[in-house]
Structure 1
Amino acid sequence: MLNGKTAVVTGGSRGIGEAIVYKLASMGANIAVIYAGNAAAAEKVCKKCGQSYSVEARAYQCNVADFSAVKEAVVKIRADFGAVQFLVNNAGITHDGLLAMMKEEDFDAVLDTNLKGAFNMIRHMTGLFIRAREGCIINITSVSGMMGNAGQCNYSASKAGLIGLTKSVAKELAPKGIRCNAVAPGFIATDMTGNQTDNPLLDMIPLGKMGEPEDVADAVAYLATAKYVTGEVLRVDGGIAM
């Protein structure tokens, strides 16, 4: 379905990003995995892509919050893969805390990675998409950006901003044949969410359980192939944000 295409996935070495990498690879896409620090994990993901799905996968270390570093990474990816058709902005961090006690650096770090990081990637990859008159951008936001979450003002703000970025990019790039959508996960079982079995918010999920990274990956796969969908925010949340 995506044979001969290339997808860039940020934060692709673990959790939701890893599941997205495997899903797109299973559809035939070559993969550029961008990771922050764990080279061994990223290389392991790339190795599995080759062994299990017979696609080319390469890892690139990059701090997505760094504008210049992202530019350099995109140049390398273009040199290695040539044309790139898909970008999944999944890289994200949390520094939770109550607003009254939150440190400025914790607020800035989350916005820099989650929101500015997505901007940096889109900014430097747009030229590739425009020249090819083809491109699909999928931003991983969160229901926290739609409904807020106490103790996560920085994270919620970053994810709400990502929704606005998605819609603006979709309108701006649609005439160039480039689509931009977002996926908004709810409570997904990953290392980042940790043990949530006692979280009272679980009682608010109509489906009564946490989601899996593969649930988010399935939504990404849909948006990657939905050629008449742009500017959409697809919730994968068990109904919590209805």
Structure 2
Amino acid sequence: MLLNGKTAVITGCNRGIGKAITTVFAKQGANIIACARKNTAEFESYLINLQNETGVQITPVYFDISKENEIKSAIKEIRSVSPTIDILVNNAGIAGDTIFQMTTIKTIEEKMKVNFYGPFLLTQYIVKLMRKSSSASIVNITSIAADDSYKGMFSYTASKAALNAFTKTLANELGNANIRVNAVAPGFTETEMIENSVTNLEFLKQLQNDLALKRLAKPEEIANSVLFLASDLSSYITGQILRVDGGLFND
């Protein structure tokens, strides 16, 4: 198994891509600290069933990634579970947006708090625990929107672009500590986030037609890319943004 004996912290585990990453990592032998904002019976049941199925240790930790005090409290919980962290996946994020002329400072602040400030602060704390690992990896979940700049996605695009820059800079700073930092930039994926943020079905139909593979990604396909960057299979890869977009070629 690719992650046997490693301990991973994953945010946004309760649905979509984060849930798929949690499942894939557990099946590859990782002990997981599964972070989510809300404690629900459905999520707890999912974690218990996954733990029983795979035999790994899965510990839920609940906090709001946009709130500094909750991140600090979560770090204390994480440290009590494992003093050494091998993998961090910054997956939690929010989408939804408005066109530039309708975008308020409040909207930008909301996106930045969840998509950039929170991951930034959590990573600062987790890196201290990663220095004890012999082979550590950070994987940030960004978006192709950071490069492709879709209309009406100003604040979301800006927040994910910030995470891309963060990825490259941090990789440069942490290389001498043997901590690799990469990002996966998913294309449009079959998740609740897409269902809630993209209501124009004609747009989705046209988008799929423009893709080389002619379909949206499945969450498990994004998770497998994260697995690659988190594992030792990518031991000489750092500072990279891996697009997983089904072949979206802009003319």
**TM-score bucket of the superposed structures, by smaller chain:** over 0.9
- After TM superposition, the structure 1 = structure 2 runs for residues 79-98 of structure 1, keeping only pairs within 5 Å, are 79-98=80-99
Say whether the 8 Å CA contact 2:10–2:35 is kept in structure 1: yes
- The match for 2:220 is 214
C-alpha RMSD of matched pairs (Å): 1.6
What's the counterpart of residue 101 of structure 1?
Answer: 102
Identity of paired residues, percent?
36
More displaced 10-residue stretch of structure 1: 79-88 or 142-151: 79-88
Question: What corresponds to 2:20 in structure 1?
Answer: 19
Whole-angstrom CA distance in 2 between matches of 1:38 and 1:101: 34
* 2:59 aligned with 1:58: yes
1:35 matched to which residue of 2? 36
Unaligned runs of 5+ in 2: none
SS of residue paired to 1:228: coil
Tell me the amino acid that sits aligned with residue 36 of structure 1. R
Tell me which stretches of 4 or more aligned residues in structure 1 moved more than 6 Å. none
Matched, 1:181 2:182: yes
Conservation of the 8 A alpha-carbon contact between 1:167 and 1:232: yes
- 1:172 is matched with 173
Residue 198 of structure 1 is matched in structure 2 by 202
Note the alpha carbon deviations across 1:138-166, whole angstroms, 9 max, x for none: 00000001111111101111111111000
Question: Measured at CA, do residues 83 and 131 of structure 1 come closer, stay the same or move farther in structure 2, by a change above 3 Å?
Answer: closer
Contact 2:6 2:29 in 1 (8 A): yes
Residues in 2 aligned to 1:41 and 1:106: alpha-carbon distance in whole angstroms: 30
Sort the Cα spacing of 1:54 and 1:241 in 2 relative to 1 into closer, same or farther, 3 A.
farther
Change (3 A) 1:220 1:196: farther
**In 2, Cα distance between the equivalents of 1:156 and 1:241?**
18
2:155, 2:244 → 1: CA distance?
21
Paired letter, 2:187: G
Tell me if structure 2 keeps the 8 A contact 1:33–1:42. no
**Hey, what does 2:123 align to over in structure 1?**
122
Taking the aligned partners of 2:229 and 2:139, their CA distance within structure 1 comes to 7
Residues 171, 182 of structure 2: 8 Å contact kept:
yes
Structure 1 spans left out of the alignment, 5+ residues: none
- When normalised by structure 1's length, the TM-score is 0.94
TM-score for the superposition, normalised by structure 2: 0.91
Partners in 1 of 2:176 and 2:87 — Cα distance? Answer: 17
